[in-house]
Structure 1
């Protein structure tokens, strides 16, 4: 029969092939297994609610679309690619030209061709009106990651001979209809098509259907699971069962709604000490989650150290049980905060019940570009099964499969072998990652539907939401609008959230209008801590739980921006011992202060922390900070006690988030007020003795010295580097709201009271009312005008690739990601699409020793230092992995395009040719910065010096 001659897959090396009918059957079977065993209930319900036959219709629709997705391969434009197989089709009566005679065949990619064939079949054989067809057939058209545009459709209509050879139209049409008729019969949809004709599929449902077809296609296209052979048998159950067993996809989480009291729930999940009480904000979060009519968005605002993360996870458990979410994604600002969160998530998962008896393994993923270097995630990768070979047919290289040393059987939590890589990792049930992974869901890009499927079945937790500028917030708001459309439960966390931003988040998710009175109340609410809850399409509810009783009175005062005066003041404050934290806004200021303080106090009493350390060194820095200045019980466990002598940590913004560290004294550069308050959260963070009696007598009162400002100017003026990092307007507003406390004219004198003053200071600094002395007003207004212009520019720039909001039900996804960015990756270049940053270089830092050999830097911990790397061959896996962990991002001096190009040219000239081999999975394509035996080099006109104590220093070459 002609239909059985149509081919779908071909292996040029083995000369094996797979008939189209077989691949259609395989894909249909896989999609059914996915629907029954892998798709979260939250996604299944969303699709089912749009169809007249509910869940039964939804399953039939998914299976049918998977079965028909490759019908476009039954066209001359596709079939001509393999002459031997094409000739067999010609012998069966399907005439076609040679491939070289079809120069225009690229106008008929098989996805678009399939969309048009399915549309014609619905119209001609089932009487569908044309407008009703496109919302279904666009799923077929978009199954390779980009739904066709109107121009794509128009061009193929003009070149109809690509669908059916002229003069042989009837034979081609007969085969196409036969395959589609068989698929409709096998999938049980023939009798449902008449009812579906009246359906208007919401765009979110079209997106999810597309994503499910993509996943089914990728699995069914894997020759290790579904071998190629042209056999005549129907798709037997044994073939599908063997493939599914080999894939072994973990089922989604089936959450059990906790019924215990909040304090019992927190004790069970988070190892609270015996007799410890949960915080009021945690108790209220559980109550609000239980009282909401349906899961939606919850914004939790509470001070630093109040247990917001634990509250969010408890809420996620309740929301998941009620919504059918099959997992959870926690989004954080940086890789460092993601790495810090990952083990906390794993501990929570270890205690998390699942309503299915013997639920088996849960898939877990760490979603950032250096996840494979994370110890906890690497261990999970080792517990996964050995990966299968073929991954997807679109050329998406799954480097994770090569980077894992996977030999043991599945464990309770695993990094599943198939759910890895930049396109599939987020499909794991549980994930921690940078905010970029969430923002990518608002970026027009290839395979965007997969990113939507990845979040549509989860509860999403967004931490530190105040940390995102206008550019990133544009993407976040758009993603929230889609999450609301999907009915995805979301928990947003912040210690320092401006009221207007709170309202914007709620409106974006719930689809509120600016004039809605209910949303106006979200902005005027002044409680703190504060909880805001809203379900999609509903009015918000607010709750201000009582304070926990924890509080710190921080004395604030000015300090001249002079390193000599800084040293004098620290010497005076620390003469009885103690630990001080000095936070600078730029790495150059960190280095300047550290150098001067070392001269005064000695090298062993100064620690430096910033982002310009190798990945391995930075991880060690964080571990040392926690062991030395962390919670008392952790310090005792890891080190025994805090330093006996005075010690000073000089750091950049890396200490603002994720590190639970505690100091006796704080000196900070002026920053936006929310960040100043975050830094104050590292001051007297823990109780050390009764009434802080374990601290030196002079430092038992928390004190913050604010510097980085010319206090003698007619209007105090922040140092230049701070303007570069934060812009002038937020700095001046911070000065204005802190000025009464610095002058002692505030109601509390020189005291900033935490947490009582957090929200008032933030709301005043980010509000629209005038602030500061009258003589400052003109300067501040100019700064505001400049800042607003910058925000407009950011918003306009973000619009270039920003996904549209979901359209009306029934409107097809034609051109959904048109004019997008193509593929997007979790790299610096990819992040530049969702963050307003200039692309910089990441390099691996190695040393050329005096004898000419190449080695890792000598001091690296855990026996990783001073290891020689071969230059004539690919290093072994362990050595290559260590070298790959020596990554460092070059600073802003190299962000200028001309300087960037020069640096790339110089680094490429030093590349090790043997490391570019295909099997060098860790090192191929990486840029290597080679230091001399004194750890120095010159790059693009700058002198670079790297030390274990100070990280990378950069100076313009003389």
Structure 2
């Protein structure tokens, strides 16, 4: 009898062979010393060899062949673990990995645990005797399969082992007990729990990759990385440093190149690299940049955020011009691979690394990926106190696990730099005004700032005059509706093809089209945007008009005007009043920023912006913010990592600790429902999802119909104006 592993007809031998090969490949890419790697390889191989043997049970085989509707909820991995536990060289850690490679350890009775093993007091599942009897029905095929597997992994010493007449799960019950006082945490030493968690990560990763029929990509040859131009002195200094670094350098000065030189210096054999950015648009842009810049980057750089598949869909469309369904499949596969132990370089949000440190799904990968990793946190000043605390607490834990960390920013307040420097010894790097090359980026004056008393609506005449003179203008509002109001008024004085509107109220399909137009030459005469433009596109306008905001947000906006200082200092006009009556930023920080900017009488550069940032944020966090920051930074999973490492258990970290989506949701405008349904009928699900708009639920709750999937919003949508307005209002 040929035993199957999948309902597709894939045999159990084929699947096991593939998982075994991937488990060995994953082990070989771990940055471990030989004395630690060798026993891990043997245990991982044994776990991979036995992980699906329980599928040989006759009832499971009938289900795979569609002769039965189901297997009545029985778990094949328990049978697999029982057989492996009887092998003479099997460790409890390997048995545990097999037992839990699909499910978590049982609940401790105090809180529910999703997707956990259901076991009785004797550590056995319901229907155990029936499961064993069904496995023995295929004993001959089982033993033949095991013999072939042993030859595959070159373990002839185990080839003589046969399915015993009585199966027992030989595992210390403490492994399956999640209680703090009497279970695994109390009776299993930390090193064994860590080792079991690593084996579980390797087995789960190999099983997922093997089921997807993928092979590991090439590792990045960092020795081949070169800058396209001679480095500035601060870039060379950054690239010569070993260990942790804070890099503070102006926008447009080559900060990313300096970061990559540091990575080239600090990566070790099989090191992973994580490039962490706060916003999705910036992550997508960096993914494209690294994929094009790094040797073998196209296949070795992954992107990891909630909408990564949509980003990948756009990048892959040219590769499958005539087959949109193939693009769909490949995009989803690549997005999922970024969550596995697959890509050697990953660009991600901070939340994805918090999935590791707060023991979210798949957290065990941290134990394999983080040692000797290089982790780059870019623009950490953009985080709120809670996320900043969690991020710095995670960074400190990563450093204890052997990672090297670099913090990079153009506007890092001094108080936050002190917080970072309190974590572990770091070297701070900034451009040195005494050195040619560095002096250039420090002394250059890119902007002339003036304060406009009123809103941007009252500055429209000045905006129209500058636009008529041929200048490209960037206008940034704090709210979507304010940007729409300003855009509508400008369209009364300018042709619609010379004005572009960009904000978060567009669906992905329309936003991509707008961003494509913005990256093509020439720039529109006027771009009206919200703060989303601060961190996304690499743009360079002649003049800027901004609504008031704290200095760090204004500095990011100013970085999109005269970006490379190739022209005379550009005029920046900041409106003292906002169009919306609802403040987006802290009013005190905004007022202090305006007052200090009003005192400046000359052209300004990065030195002045940095000093202003330090002055505005001199007091640091408020007492309430400080409490939140400290509490998150000292999360028990960080400071008591060894005590709280519970193998085989995941935490509900998204809802319990982080408000990851800040009360936002993707909704479908009612008028797009027919288009959405048509795309789904054709199997083009990612294209259908690109019609959804991300909104803050609280502000539009009365317009959202949550009885549908996806949620439907009863608000007008226009591809030119976005959600809530129609272009018919433009005369």
Give the structure-2-normalised TM-score: 0.75
Deviation at residue 213 of structure 1 after TM alignment:
1.0
Q: Does residue 476 of the first structure (1) align with residue 429 of the second (2)?
A: no
Aligned residue number for residue 462 of structure 1: 377
Correspondence 1:324 to 2:270: yes
**For 1:207, which of 197, 215, 220 is the aligned residue?**
197
Equivalent of 2:45, from 46, 55, 63?
A: 63
Q: Distance in 2 between matches of 1:9 and 1:673?
A: 63
Q: How does 1:703-742 map to 2 (within 5 A)?
A: 703-709=571-577, 720-721=581-582, 723=583, 725-726=584-585, 728=586, 731-742=587-598
Aligned to 2:642: 808
- How big is the shift at 1:434? 4.0
User: What pairs up with 1:229-268 in 2 under 5 angstroms?
Assistant: 247=213, 249-253=215-219, 255-257=221-223, 266-267=226-227
* Residue pairs, 1:884-899, within 5 angstroms: 884-889=689-694, 891-892=695-696, 894-895=697-698, 899=702
1:944 aligned partner:
716
Q: In 2, distance between residues paired with 1:765 and 1:251? A: 47
Structure number with greater Rg is: 1
Q: Provide Cα deviations, 1:353-403, integer angstroms capped at 9, x if missing partner.
A: xxxxxxxx94443434253454663158759xx9xxxxxxxxxxxxx9x65
Instruction: Pick closer, same or farther for the CA change 1:161–1:167 going to 2, 3 Å.
Output: same
The corresponding residue for 1:633 is none
Gaps of 5+ in 1: 86-97, 191-197, 226-246, 259-264, 353-360, 387-399, 407-414, 513-517, 531-542, 628-637, 693-699, 711-717, 770-783, 825-829, 849-853, 857-868, 909-924, 930-938
Deviation at 1:286, TM superposition (A): 1.2
1:139 to 59, 78, 97: 97
Give secondary structure in 1 for the equivalent of 2:664. coil
Asked if 1:333 corresponds to 2:285, the answer is no
8 Å contact from structure 2 (residues 447, 603) kept in 1: yes
Identify the residue that residue 302 of structure 1 maps to in structure 2.
249
The structural deviation recorded for 1:585 is: 0.6
Which residue of the partner structure matches residue 677 of structure 1?
555
Report the Cα offset of residue 496 of structure 1.
1.4
1:29-48 matches, within 5 Å, as: 29-30=17-18, 33-34=21-22, 36-39=24-27, 41=29, 43-45=30-32, 48=34
Q: Once superposed, what is the RMSD of the aligned Cα atoms? A: 5.1
Q: Is the 8 A contact 1:664 1:683 kept in 2?
A: yes
Q: How many residues are treated as equivalent by the alignment?
A: 674
Q: What pairs up with 1:627-706 in 2 under 5 angstroms? A: 627=520, 638-639=521-522, 647-688=525-566, 692=567, 700-706=568-574
Matching residue of 2:416: 501
Contact 1:419 1:428 in 2 (8 A): no
Q: Give distance in 1, aligned partners of 2:130 and 2:484.
A: 78
Moved more, 648-657 or 474-483: 474-483
231, 237, 261: which is aligned to 1:284? 237
Q: 1:765 aligns to what?
A: 616
Deviation readout 1:846-884 (Å, 9 max, x if unpaired): 659xxxxx569xxxxxxxxxxxx869x93375xx76554
User: Could you say what secondary structure the match of 1:212 adopts?
Assistant: helix
Matched, 1:404 2:327: yes
Contact 2:58–2:134 under 8 Å retained in 1: no
Aligned to 2:168: none
Deviations 1:775-805 (CA, angstroms, capped at 9, x unpaired):
xxxxxxxxx75xx4356458769999x9556
Q: Are 1:580 and 2:473 matched, yes or no?
A: yes
Report how far residue 612 of structure 1 moved. Answer: 1.5
| Alpha-carbon distance between aligned partners in 1 of 2:96 and 2:201, rounded to the nearest angstrom | 12
Distance 1:804 1:704, change over 3 A: same
User: 1:371 aligns to what?
Assistant: 309
Q: Distance in 1 between matches of 2:528 and 2:331?
A: 41
Shift of 1:422: 6.7
Structure 2, unaligned stretches of length 5 or more?
Answer: 64-69, 160-187, 727-731
Cα distance in 2 between the residues matched to 1:547 and 1:113 = 68
1:841 pairs, out of 625, 646, 666, with 666
How far apart, in 1, do the equivalents of 2:510 and 2:131 lie? 68
Residue 706 (structure 2) aligned to one of 900, 904, 914: 904
- Three-state SS of the structure 2 residue aligned to 1:662 is coil
Cα distance change on mapping 1:655 and 1:842 into 2, 3 Å: same
* Alignment CA distance shift 1:310-1:118 (3 Å): same
Q: Cα distance, 1:420 vs. partner?
A: 4.9
Q: Secondary structure at the match of 1:705?
A: strand
User: Shift of residue 592 of structure 1?
Assistant: 2.1
Kept in 2, the 8 Å contact 1:661–1:682? The answer is yes
Aligned to 2:344: 429
* Mapping 1:92-103, distance limit 5 Å: none
**1:158 is aligned to 2:121:** yes
Work out the CA distance in 2 between the residues paired with 1:99 and 1:209: 27
Contact 1:461 1:491 in 2 (8 A): yes
Cα displacement (A) at 1:768: 2.2
Q: How many Å apart are 1:765 and its aligned residue?
A: 2.4
Q: Would the aligned equivalents of 2:252 and 2:564 in 1 still touch at CA under 8 Å?
A: no
1:305: how far off?
A: 0.6
Task: Indicate the SS of the match to 1:421.
Answer: helix
Q: Is the 8 A contact 1:583 1:668 kept in 2?
A: yes
Deviation of 1:45 after TM superposition, in Å, equals 1.1
> How far apart are the structure 2 equivalents of 1:418 and 1:308?
32
